[in-house]
Chain A
Amino acid sequence: MKLKLNSVIKGTAASILGAAMAFTANVALADYPEKDITFIVPYSPGGGSDQMARRLQPGLEKALGVNVRIVYKTGGGGAVGFSELHRSKPDGYTIANVVVPNVILSSKGDGVGYKPGDFEYIGMTESAVGALMVPKDSPYKSLDAFVAAALEKPGMLTVAGVGGTGADRWGALADILGIDTTYVPVSGGVGKMMPMLAGSHVDAGMTASNHATKHKSIVDALVIAGKQEVTTLKGVPFEPKWSYVTTWGIMAPPGTPADIIATLNAALNEAASDSSVADALSNAGYNTIIQTVDEVNAFMDEQIKAYQ
């Protein structure tokens, strides 16, 4: 008897709890968003991801009708912020920047606790291709001159890039060009690479093309990746076999409900289509992107395959 009563109580409690949970879930879905949203920036204040978040913040707030609070969780090439998002509640109130391929490459380390396929992607907003650049007063005025010099003195030309991912990306172009150079890893991002180029401490630098646009007064681009010209770098040749692209976007924790992702995607696209955002991006040398949820998922599947 005692046992029976116990199970009755348990059953009742469970059903009440279940009903309550269903009720709150319904409310959450119906009224999302009803409180402030936290936007994790996994890179330092003032950097590219921070600026992207700040650019989109007013538009997102307008579209969603709540405040978007930006917090910085930095370190580990983005891994600290990405894993923080991975641990966050999938209720649509925590989102973060995503940088491709950084999110894929950083997940390969042991113990980061996330896989790039886990996250719910909301949409990509901009991309930039790779560029090889030399200081303004460099003796190498064209890609041909650079390649010729590298062939003449194998291993004697130095090329700076950001960290170990830069090494792979430079290696790909060096193979295409058939040259042998010395790679110099720069830590702390492009901000540290530009003074090295301006002071001619390395012969060339390689990073995303938007930096070649921004630092036009210090560097000249010799070649860019991809199948077309970049409008802000008129006349710079492109190398179709070099597939270096960096893409920026927004994502949510694994298991965030599909209708919340749809709401966020609509808000993101509204924010990104604003003419002030779009103009700022194209002036800075980015390609602007507007994606549906299906498109971003297809894009991520393809990228994860490519980098694994």
Chain B
Amino acid sequence: MIEAFFLAISPSYLLYMTIGILLGLIVGTLPGLTATMGTALLVPFTFALPTGEGIAMLGGLYVCAMFSDAIPACLVNTPGTPAAMATGFDGYPMVQQGRGQEAIVAACFSSALGTMFGAACYLLLAWPMISIALQFGPPEFFWLGIFALTIIGSLAGDSILKGLAGGAIGLLISCVGISHATELNRFTMNIPELRGGVSLVAALIGVFAVPQVLSMVLGLKRQEYIAEYRAEKGVFLKTILKVLSRPIHFLRSAAIGSFIGILPGAGSPIAAIVSYNEAVRWSKDKNTFGKGNVHGVTASEIANNAAAPAAMIPLVTLGVPGSSPAAVIAGALMLRGLNPGPELFATDGVLVYSFGWSLFIAGIVVFFVGMLATPLLVKVIKIPLRLLAPLIMFLAIIGAYAIRNNIFDVYMMLAIGIFVFLARRLGFHPGPIGLGFILGPIIEPSLVQALYISDAVGVQKIFFSGIINITLISLSVISVAAVALSRFKARRLAKQA
């Protein structure tokens, strides 16, 4: 482990990792360029390097993209990757209140801490954590998805019904395409492109970017800029202290992030959503969330970053990647003739550990890179809307196209965008719709698989037994009950007043 540490801090490792981080900054910031695409594009270039440096570079790109996707989420309310959706819930209101610098600094610092926590899990707790993660089968994934859906309660705003309807619309759209189990065409209307389903990334760009651009354009007469922007002195230190003043909030978010990161197929977006939900639940001032609470930003960013190194744990313990970028890194290792999995500890132990240290150090480098870039990045707010709106639209179209190189995704993005824009005017929050998109691909296949297994062992045994199932069901019920209770109280108060 010590040998691996010294390897990870050797100049060549640091150099290539930092290059990866700088690329990750770009990849994450541009909606549509995801960490998966970024790492896949970088793989051929890493072949010129020794294996250790090569995967350090890929890892650097991955963790930095998990920070930089927060930048567009905060500044223009469009998550750079699906993992940053929850970051924007509070990040964008902060920017509107003129606290742009605070939002970005908070995102950057909590991303750095989250990455280091996740990397520490990879280095120290890989085996115990994976043995718990393996307890998650189809029914557990199903209940995890249902539990994550309960966040609608804290997102829905004025009408819980509209929140539920939004979530249902998102889930339904995620069903479009060839069904997971029986390969049936669903809602494809004989359009071949729809067989592959609606691209998650393109759909999220539609949900967030297009309505944003449209309301910018319609509001041009009233508003020239997103928000007032003034550089505030001492905001860096103040924000960092704010994050550090909540150690329990940090530990909870980081633990949720790294654990969900381990679950193959769940990944950073779910980690961020569950962590945000828990931050709201445990907070004393629940009503400030969604209206610019800095801890909403940190909850999401700590978790989605902790999930990135954690997604490497199933790769080295089972040989199964925990997320799509981890799958690309696995592919890069296999092309070099290495077989990622438990044997790698025996044959290339130094490589396994130096990668962990690289991810840990990447957290620190991301912090400095982010701090240097923040003053520059927040200047986006200074761009007048008449320039910013077409720029976002341009990036949205490129991003929707780039994800699968398919022009059809651009049409879908525009159609969903216009739909969400209209729905927003009717009082729908875009959050639940995006949530449905992200959770559909987790909930549906796991429900189907669990139902198939229930043929053999019975519904009761598969869905309602086992400590994890019972825990997740109880948490979901408590979540829903708490929301119902607080709404009931609020209504009574309103009546009395």
Contacts and interface: CB of A to CB of B under 8 A. Distances in A.
Q: A and B bound?
A: yes
Interface string A38-56: 0000001111001100110
Contacts of A80: 192-193, 195-196, 404, 406
Contacts of B182: 164, 167, 185
Interface string B29-71: 0000000110110011000000000000000000000000000
B195 A201 contact: no
Query: Which residue, of A44, A50, A185, has the highest number of chain B Cβ atoms within 10 A?
Result: A185
Contacts of B160: none
B405 A191 contact: no
Contact of A182 (B134, B138, B339, B455): B455
A167 B334 CA distance: 29
A304 B137 CA distance: 37
B91 interface: no
Interface string A42-82: 00111100110011010000000000001111111101100
B488 interface: no
B244 interface: no
Nearest to A167: B182
B331 A54 contact: yes
B335 interface: yes
Interface stretch (B213-221, B246-254, B445-453): B445-453
B195 A46 contact: no
Given A111-B191, A192-B265, A199 B137 contact: yes
Interface string B444-470: 010011001101110000000000000
Contact of B337 (A73, A113, A283): A283
A75 B406 CA distance: 11
Contacts of A194: 318-320
Contacts of B40: 45-46, 50, 72
A308 interface: no
B404 A77 contact: no
A113 B192 contact: yes
Contact of A79 (B192, B314, B342): B192
A163 B184 CA distance: 11
A191 B321 contact: yes
B414 interface: no
A163 B341 CA distance: 25
A13 interface: no
B264 interface: yes
A109 B178 contact: yes
Contacts of B137: 196, 199, 201
Nearest to B327: A46
A45 B327 contact: yes
Nearest to B191: A111
B497 interface: no
A167 to B, nearest CB: 8
Contacts of B44: 54, 57, 70
A181 B456 CA distance: 8
Interface in B162-219: 177-178, 180-183, 185, 188, 190-193, 195-197, 199
A45 B341 contact: no
Contacts of A75: 177, 195-197, 199, 404
A300 to B, nearest CB: 22
Contacts of B190: 110-111
B404 A198 contact: no
B229 interface: no
B242 to A, nearest CB: 38
A241 B138 CA distance: 32
Contacts of B188: 111
A202 interface: yes
Nearest to A58: B47
Contacts of A57: 44
Contacts, number: 174
A186 B134 contact: no
B5 interface: no
Nearest to A194: B320
A280 B191 CA distance: 39
A183 B181 CA distance: 10
B355 to A, nearest CB: 16
A157 interface: yes
Given A44-B324, A187-B181, A192-B265, A155 B456 contact: yes
A133 to B, nearest CB: 14
A247 interface: no
A262 interface: no
Query: Which residue, of A70, A113, A218, has the highest number of chain B Cβ atoms within 10 A?
Result: A218
Contacts of A112: 192, 195
B178 A77 contact: yes
Contacts of B191: 111
Contact of A163 (B181, B192, B197, B329): B181
Interface string B230-249: 00000000000000000000
Contacts of A158: 452-453, 456-457
B178 A51 contact: no
Contacts of A196: 137-138
B134 A185 contact: no
B341 A73 contact: no
Contacts of B319: 194, 214-215, 217-218
A71 B335 CA distance: 18
Contacts of B180: 163, 185, 187-188
B272 interface: no
A210 to B, nearest CB: 11
B321 A184 contact: no
A277 B259 CA distance: 37
B449 A185 contact: yes
A76 B330 contact: no
B183 A163 contact: yes
A75 B265 CA distance: 17
Given A188-B445, A201-B138, A195 B192 contact: no
A156 interface: yes
B228 interface: no
B343 interface: yes
Contacts of B314: 195
Nearest to B198: A75
A155 B181 CA distance: 18
Nearest to B321: A191
B103 to A, nearest CB: 31
B95 interface: no
A214 B404 CA distance: 28
A269 interface: no
B287 interface: no
Nearest 9 A/B pairs, CB to CB: A75-B196, A201-B137, A46-B327, A45-B40, A187-B180, A199-B134, A46-B331, A76-B195, A164-B183
Given A79-B196, A160-B449, A187-B181, 15 more contacts: A51-B335, A57-B44, A71-B405, A76-B196, A77-B178, A80-B193, A158-B452, A158-B453, A182-B455, A183-B452, A184-B452, A186-B445, A191-B264, A217-B342, A280-B335
14 contacts: A44-B327, A45-B43, A46-B330, A72-B40, A76-B178, A165-B183, A187-B181, A188-B265, A191-B320, A195-B318, A199-B136, A217-B319, A217-B342, A217-B343
